[in-house]
Amino acid sequence: MSNVNVFAVKTLTQKEYFSSGHRACQGCGETLAVRLVHKALGRDVVVASATGCMEIVSSPLPLTSWEMPWIHVAFENAAAVATGVEAGLKALMRKGKIPNKKIHVVGMAGDGGTADIGLQALSGALERGHDFIYVCYDNEAYMNTGIQRSSSTPYCAATTTSPAGSVKPGQTTWKKNMPAIAAAHNIPYVATACPSYPMDLVEKVKKAAETPGPAYVHILSVCPTGWGMPGEDIIKFGRLAVETGAFPLYEIENGRYRITVDVPELLPIETYLKPQRRFRHITPEMTEIIAERVAKEWELLKRRVEFSALD
Amino acid sequence: MAKQVGMEVSIAAAEAVKLANVDVIAAYPITPQTHIVEHLSELVADGELDAEFVPVESEHSAMSLAVGSQAAGARSFTCTSAQGLALMSEIVFIAASMRLPILMILANRSLSSPLSIWNDHSDVMSVRDCGWIQLFTENSQEVYDHVFIGYKVSENHNVLLPTIINMDGFILTHMFEPVYIEDESVVKQYLPDYVPKFSLHPDKPVTMGAFAMPTLFTEAKMAQNEALKASYPYIMEAWKQWGDLTGRYYNPIEELHTEDAETLLLTMGSFGETAGEAVKAMREQGKKVGLLKLRLWRPFPFEELRRAVSGASKLVVVDRAVSFGGPGGPAASEIRSALYDMDPRPQVHNTIAGLAGRDVTVNDFIQIVESAETKKTDDYEIYGVRG
Amino acid sequence: MAKADIEILWTELEPGCVVTEPGSSKAYRTGDWRSFRPVLNKDRCIQCGLCWIFCPDMAYAQDGEGYYESNPEYCKGCGVCAKECPTNAIGMVEEEEPEL
C-alpha cells in the first residue's frame, strides 16, 4: 500500500517533459525520478547532462526524449557545462541580447558522475555560487557500464567490481555522503529525495528552483537491473530505503536541517537489504554492522535538526 | 583611426577580446597564459567589458564551461597552455564535434615531463586532430588581429567551428611590442554580434550532444571533416575583409624571398621573425634561400603549400615538437605527405629545434640551412643536442 | 518524424548533430518489449492517479471518463502500476505470442 496521499498526485501537471520511447530498462527508478523532477520544474529549463544511463536511454541520434533544451558533453563535467549555460544566459540577458526571463538551469548526473569523476567540477560550480540546480540521480553504482562500484555504492553491496567473495563482503567502504559534501559548500539548499515519495520530491525540486544560488538535490533512484529485484518493486524498495533509515529524506535550507518524511521507528534494515540480489550474501554479522551504522547516522541527522534549529 | 601603442602582447590580446565584446570568459591560470586572464579580469572588474568572468577550478572545466556558454548562445573565450590543454583536451575535441565557435588562445608551452614552463609546440601538436581551426601568429599585431578574424570565421554559419590562436609562450606573451589598436567602430563593423544557429533556450528546444550508433557515426565524422575543409574560403574571405578595413592582409602561408629560391625554410609562429633575418643575411651572401611561414595549420593549405614550394629543390622544415618514435617533427611529417604526389618535389629536411624555449638564433637558422644543403635524402635531426 | 539513422546521409545532419525535434523518441515504440500487460478493472478503480505518476514510461493517460489507461505502444510491462495500485484494480496479464 502506498504511503502517498491518494489523489494528491493528481495536482501534478499532466504535461510530460521527458518523453516515452526512451530505452531505459523496465521499471527504471531513475527515469521516474527524471520525469518527476521535470514535472516540478516545468517548461523554462535548460538541462546539462553527464554521460550515463539517462543520457544513453534518451538521446540515440536522430531521436531525443527531451522536450526542453538539453545538452550532453562528457561524463565528469555536467556541473561545469550547466554553469556555463547559466553564465551565458545571464550575460546575454544583462546585455539585452535575449529577453529577460527566469530560466532554470539544471545539471544532472548519476552517482558516478557526481560523487566520483564529477566531484571536482561540482565543487567548483557550487563554490562559485551560480544560480543553478544540480540533481544527482543515485542508483548506487555505474549501471550504464555494467554495475561497477562507485563511491556511492553502499557497504557490502555486490557489484561487478566489488564482488562478494570468500574474503571480501562486496563493497568494503561506506556510501559517500554527497549531500553533506554539497552542504559543506554552504549553499542555500540541499535535499535528498526519492520517487517513492513523489510529492516530497516535487516540493523539494520546486524549492531548489526558487532558491537563488546553487541548490543540490540527491535522489535515490532504485535500479532493478543493478540491485537485483523485479521492476515492479521499485517504489516499494525506495520506500523501504526511507523506512529503514538507509536513505533518510531531509532538506537543509540555509543551514537548517529538516527531516521531511519522519520515521518514528525504523524498520529492521534486513527488510530492505535481504530481498535484493546485491545483498543476498550478507551474513547476520554484516547486517548487524550495517544496522548499527544506519541507526547512528539517523540519530546524527536528528541531532543536526535540533542543533541547526538553535540559531 | 587605429593608434599604435606599445604594450605587452598578452595585454594586447586581452584588449582584443574586450573589443570583440565577448559574453563569457572561462579562466584558469597557467604560465605563460596568465597575463591574458589577469588583464581580462581587470577589464571586467572596472566595467570596461560587460562579460561573465568565471574563474573555474580547472582547465577541464574552463573548456566545459565555454561549451555550455557558447551552446547557450554567448560569445565565449578561454585561453590556456601545455598541461592545461592536455587536461581539457577531452572537451577540446567535443567542442569542435558539437560545432561550437569558441575562441581559444593557446600560449604555447612544452608538455611535461620534465616540467618546463617554456615555449614549444608540443602542446598544440597533441590536439592536431581535434577539429578546430588552428592558426599560428608571429607578433603582437597578428595575435590582436586574429581575435577578430577568428570569431568572424568561427561564427559564420557556413563554418561553425572553434578556433585556436597559437602564440608562443614568453617569446610573445611576455614581450612588449608596438600594436595598432583598432577603433571600436571598425571592430563592430567587421564583427557583428554572434547569432547562433542553434542555442539552448526553452523557446526553441534542441538536443545537443546526442550519441550515434555505428550506423551514423561515420556520417557525423564525414560532416565534421567536410566542415573544416570547407572553412578555407571563409578564412580567406575574413582575411581579405580585415585587410580592406585595416590595411593588414594575411595569407595561409606567408612568403619571404621565395621568388627564385632553391632552398626554402619553413617555420611556424614566432620563429618567423628570426628565420626571416637569417634568410635576409643568406640572400646578402648571394644564396638563393627563401622563407615560408605556415600560418594556417588547420584546415591545412595543401594547394598553397604545393604552389609555394614548386621550383625549390630543398625544403627545410623546422619543427618545435617531436613525434616520438615517428617520422620526426609533426609539421614535417604532414608536409612530406602533402607533397608526396608532386613531381618533381623538393627533398624535405626536418630539423627539430627550440624545444622548451631553447634559443634559436639567426646563426642557428643559417647553420640549419647549410647543414640541410649537404644532405642527399629526406631526413630529420634534433638540432643542437649535446652528446 | 525523423528518418531512421541508417537512412540518414552525412549532408542531412545538422551541424554538431543537433536534434531539432523535441521529444521525437515517441516515434520509437517500446511496447514490444512487454511480456505482461496491465489490465484495469474499472469497478475497483478510484481514479487516484498513482498508476500514472509511478509509470517510468509515461504510458498512462486519462480517458474521457477519468480512468487511467496505459498506452500499449509504450508500456514495457514493468508492473509498477499494478503493484502500487491502492485498490488492486490493475492486473498483469501475460501477452500471447503473436501467431506466425
Local confidence pLDDT in tens for the 387 residues of chain B:
789 999 999 999 999 999 999 999 999 999 999 999 999 999 999 999 999 999 999 999 999 999 999 999 999 999 999 999 999 999 999 999 999 999 999 999 999 999 999 999 999 999 999 999 999 999 999 999 999 999 999 999 999 999 999 999 999 999 999 999 999 999 999 999 999 999 999 999 999 999 999 999 999 999 999 999 999 999 999 999 999 999 999 999 999 999 999 999 999 999 999 999 999 999 999 999 999 999 999 999 999 999 999 999 999 999 999 999 999 999 999 999 999 999 999 999 999 999 999 999 999 999 999 999 898 888 899 999 999
Name A189's Cβ contacts closer than 8 Å, sequence gap at least 6: A207, A208, A211, A213, A214, A215, A216, A251, A252, A253, A254
Query: A29 phi and psi, to 5 degrees?
Result: -70, -30
CATH number at residue B358: 3.40.50.920
**What's residue A1's pLDDT?**
43
Report chain A residues touching chain C, CB-CB < 8 A: 1-2, 4, 6-7, 9-10, 12, 14, 16, 18-24, 26-29, 31-32, 35-36, 58-68, 195, 198, 230-236
Selected for mutation to probe chain A from B67, B76, B200 (highest A CB count within 10 Å) is B200
Residues of chain B with C-beta less than 8 angstroms from the C-beta of A90: 52
* Chain A CB within 8 Å of residue C51 CB: no
CA distance C40 to chain A (A): 16
Q: Which of B55, B91, B220 sits opposite A77 (nearest CB)?
A: B91
Residues with Cβ within 8 Å of B144's Cβ and at least 6 positions away in sequence, in order, are B12, B13, B15, B16, B179, B180, B181
Which set of grid coordinates corresponds to residue C54? 509511478
Does residue B209 share a domain with residue B108? yes
Give me the interface pTM, i.e. the ipTM. 0.97
CATH number at residue B149: 3.40.50.970
CA dist A36 and A50 (Å) reads 18
| Same structural domain, B227 and B267 | no
pLDDT (tens digit per residue) in B309-348: 999 999 999 999 999 999 999 999 999 999 999 999 999 9
A–C interface: beta-carbon pairs under 8 A: 124
Whole-number Å distance between alpha carbons of B385 and B359: 12
Q: Which domain holds residue B371?
A: 253-382
What pLDDT, in 10s, does the model give residues A108-133?
Answer: 999 999 999 999 999 999 999 999 99
Q: How many domains does chain B have?
A: 2
Name the nearest CA neighbour of A130 among C86, B270, B56.
Answer: B56
Pairing of strands C60-62, B296-298: unpaired
Same domain, B228 and B101: yes
Rounded to the nearest 5 degrees, what angle is found at the Cα of B50, between the Cα atoms of B47 and B53? 95
User: Within this chain, do residues B275 and B238 fall inside the same structural domain, yes or no?
Assistant: no
Please tell me the distance from the alpha carbon of residue B167 to that of residue B332, in angstroms, as a whole number. 20
Does residue B26 sit at the A interface (CB-CB below 8 Å)? yes
Are C53 and A67 a contacting pair at CB < 8 A? no
Interface test with B, best of A23, A61, A66, A76 (most B CBs within 10 A): A61
The label of the residue with cell 629543390 reads: B313
Determine which helix (DSSP H) or strand (DSSP E) holds B277, and give its type and residue range. Answer: helix B271-284
- Nearest CB partner across the interface for B213, out of A60, A83, A84: A60
Q: Round to whole Å and give the CA distance between A83 and A2.
A: 38
pLDDT at A203 over 70: yes
Residues B308 and B192 grouped into a single domain = no
Q: Please report the DSSP string for A7-69 in residue order.
A: TGGGGS-S--SB-TT--PPTT-HHHHHHHHHHHHH-SSEEEEE-SSHHHHHH-BTT---BSS-
If you average pLDDT over residues C73-88, what whole number do you get?
Answer: 98
Residue of A nearest to C5 (CA): A62
Q: Which amino acid is at A176?
A: K
Which residue in the set C10, C11, C15 is minimally distant from B197, CB to CB? Answer: C15
CATH number of this structure's domain A19-308: 3.40.50.970
Cβ(B190)–Cβ(B148) below 8 Å: yes
Q: Which of B193, B211, B245 is the last residue of a domain?
A: B245
Whether B387 maps to a domain, the answer reads no
Domain ranges of chain A: 19-308
- Euclidean distance between the first and final Cα of chain C, in Å? 30
Residue C2: pLDDT over 70 = no
Instruction: Assess whether B368 and B294 both reside in one domain.
Output: yes
Asked whether residue B239 falls in the same domain as residue B309, the answer is no
CB contacts < 8 A, A to B, total 168
B114-154 confidence digits (pLDDT tens): 999 999 999 999 999 999 999 999 999 999 999 999 999 99
CA nearest neighbour of A27 among A232, A236, A240, A227: A232
C-alpha cell at A145: 557500464
Q: Residue A142's beta-bridge partner residues?
A: A148
Interface probe, candidates C18, C21, C83, chain A, greatest A C-beta count within 10 A:
C83
Task: Check if the beta carbon of residue A240 is closer than 8 Å to that of residue A194.
Answer: no
Three-class secondary structure assignment of C37-85: EEEECCCCCCCCCHHHHCCCCCCEEECCCCCEEECCCCCCCCCHHHHHC
Phi then psi for residue A248, to 5 deg, are -70, 145
Question: Which residues does chain A have within 8 Å of residue B71's beta carbon, measured at their own beta carbons?
Answer: 71, 81, 84-85, 88
Q: How far is residue B5's CA from residue A139's CA, in Å, rounded to a whole number?
A: 59
Residues 87-146 of A with CB under 8 A from B: 87-92, 94-95, 97-98, 103, 120-121, 123-125, 127-128
Helices (H), chain A: 29-41, 53-58, 78-94, 111, 119-128, 178-183, 198-210, 224-227, 234-243, 270-273, 284-308
Q: Are residues B261 and B117 in the same domain?
A: no
Domains of chain C: 44-91 (3.30.70.20)
Helix (H) or strand (E) holding B368: helix B362-373
Q: Which of B202, B209, B220 sits opposite A68 (nearest CB)?
A: B202
Q: Are residues B156 and B214 in the same domain?
A: yes
Asked if A76 and B210 count as a contact pair (C-beta separation under 8 A), the reply is no
Residue linked to cell 578574424: B149
